[in-house]
Structure formats: structure tokens, C-alpha cells
Amino acid sequence: MRVSLLDHGYLEAVTFWGSEEEIISAARMSTGKGFLGWGPFHHETCAYLHALIAYMEGSSDVASPDQVPCDCTPKPGDEKLLRYLWENEHHTPFEMAGATFEVQAPIFVFREWMRHRVPFSYNEMSARYTPLPDLNYVPSMERLALGSGSSKQNQSLGGKGLDREAAKEFRETLVAINLVIEGIYQKALRTGVPKELARLVLPVGRYSKMRVSSNLRGWLNFLKLREAPNAQYEIRVYAEALHKMLAEKFPRTLGLFEEGR
């Protein structure tokens, strides 16, 4: 499962772990019951689930929800508990699932990404050990027309709205300077400048590559910040692709996340 992003980037799912069933099971630790099931739930009739919710809301008048038998058929309906967890910010059960991705993106995108510390893990290609491939991000004409931030904020962050001519010129300048820089980089490597110093000329628009792993709680926080309208377009592109991949594996949770925005 790999999607291409920007001009030379990509996002690829490596591993998902846990499941929405395990999120429910973990949350149920507090009262001792496990995952009951998804799907059609006769909420007029299931006394147990009512009692459980009443309990967690603090409005119950029984000593324990477990004293109330679950006599309805079919008994599932754990969507309701998942929603309760999400809407009341009981986030720890969402740490029981997660995902690892491989990402190729420009360095300035990685710089923003790595501001996420806990619970993220990173392993990135190092220009100290291997020459970075000659891939550089050159924004498209459409991107340059966007300005910064969201389409509502075309004028923001110092972008006064870029006309077609200026955009074209910036693109051409980028392509040209990247050629020059690559020439300098290769020559430096050839003449014996250590890779760790030759890289000094590489621009933050250069592509790098990494594996990144986090639990689902971390990813949802990432999406909250990086899909926001004031996030930079380039990282938003990655966040939106991530969102889609997570939604395939954890559809109910991402559904709640979308509702909550």
C-alpha cells in the first residue's frame, strides 16, 4: 500500500497493529468485561450496556454494572462505548493500536513531523552515512497559486498572492539552483570532503526517507494538527494520505475523529 505524494515523495504502510476490538477490550479492563461485538444493538433492551454507560457517567444506582445481566439478542453495539471513549477524551485505550509507515518527503516536512516526540519512533536516512539521492521538491504551479496555509488564507504568512509569472520564475530558479547545488555536492564528495560536511549545501527542499511508528493516539493527534487549515500544504498532503490509510484499518475511530472536527 504505497501512494505517491508531491513530486518525488511517497507514503507506504509497513505495519498496523492492534484493532478497534482491542481498544474496546482495553477500555473494558476498568470493569472486567471484554469486547462484546459491533453492529445492530437493541438499545431499548440491553440492560447491561445501559448500566455500564450509566456507571461511567456517574449516574448509576446499582453497585456494579456486572450485576445487570445482558439478556438481549443480539447483544453487540460496542460502537457506543467507542464513541463514549472518544467524546470524553479517554484516550489511553487508543494507545493499544498503532501503525508504522515508510515516508519519503522533503527535509523541511520531516522537520515539522519530528516535532512530534511522544509516542513517535523514527529511523531516518542519514546524509552522514550515505549521499542523499538527487531528489528535490519543486512546488507545482497549482501549489504556488495556493499561497500559504489553507485556501482561505491565500494571503497569509507573507504570501501576497503569487501571480503566474512570479510562480513560473520561482520554479525555474529552484530547478536551476538545485542543479548547481548537486554539482557542488558531487564534486565535494569526489574531492574527499566527508559526506557529513559535503551535505552542508543541501537545501531543506531535498528529499529524505524514514520509517516512523506511533500508537493510534499519537497518529490522531498528528492528524489533528497537520490536517488543520493552518498547517502547511506539504505536510497536510502527507497527513491526508495517512488519514485514508488509517481509516481503512480503524474505520470507526477515524469516523469519530472526523465527526469531532
- The DSSP line for 208-233 is EEEEEEEEHHHHHHHHHHHSSTTS-H
Residues 137-196 that bind a copy of itself (CB under 8 A): 137, 139, 143-144, 147-149, 153, 155-163, 166, 169-170, 173-174, 177, 180-181, 184, 187-189, 191-196
Pick the closer one to a copy of itself by CB: 73 or 129. Answer: 129
When asked if residue 9 is in the footprint of a copy of itself (CB under 8 A), the reply is no
Considering only 6, 213, 236, 242, the residue that binds a copy of itself (CB under 8 A) is 213
**Adjacency order of strands within the sheet including 9-17:** 2-5, 9-17, 98-106, 207-215, 121-124
Q: Which of residues 46-65 bind a copy of itself (CB under 8 A)?
A: 55-65
* Single-letter amino acid, residue 232: Q
CB of 186 to a copy of itself, least distance (A): 10
- For a copy of itself, which stretch binds (CB under 8 A), given 42-50, 68-76, 136-144, 246-254? 136-144
For 105, the enclosing helix (H) or strand (E) is strand 98-106
Residue tagged active-site, from 199, 206, 217, 226: 226
Euclidean distance between CA atoms 258 and 261, whole angstroms: 6
Of the two residues 42 and 187, which places its CB atom closer to a copy of itself in the complex? 187
Residue with cell 507545482: 140
- Our finding on whether 197 is near a copy of itself (CB under 8 A) is yes
| Of 213, 260, 258, the residue nearest 240 (C-alpha) | 258
Q: Which of residues 97-126 bind a copy of itself (CB under 8 A)?
A: 98, 100, 106-108, 111, 114-115, 117-126
Is residue 202 within the footprint of a copy of itself (CB under 8 A)? Answer: yes
How far is CA 45 from each of CA 49, 63, 85, rounded to the nearest angstrom?
A: 9, 20, 22
Residues 231-250 that bind a copy of itself (CB under 8 A): 232
Task: Report cis status (omega within 30 of 0) of the bond before 40.
Answer: no
- How far apart CA 49 and CA 24 sit, in angstroms, is 13
User: With binding defined as CB under 8 A, does residue 17 bind a copy of itself?
Assistant: yes
- 28 catalytic, yes or no? no
Minimal distance, residue 32 CB to a copy of itself, in Å: 5
Q: Least CB distance from residue 132 to a copy of itself, whole Å?
A: 9
Under DSSP, is residue 182 helix (H, G, I), strand (E, B) or coil?
Answer: helix
Gap between the Cα atoms of 204 and 174, Å rounded: 12
The residue (of 83 and 224) whose beta carbon lies closer to a copy of itself is 224
Cite the active site residues: 226
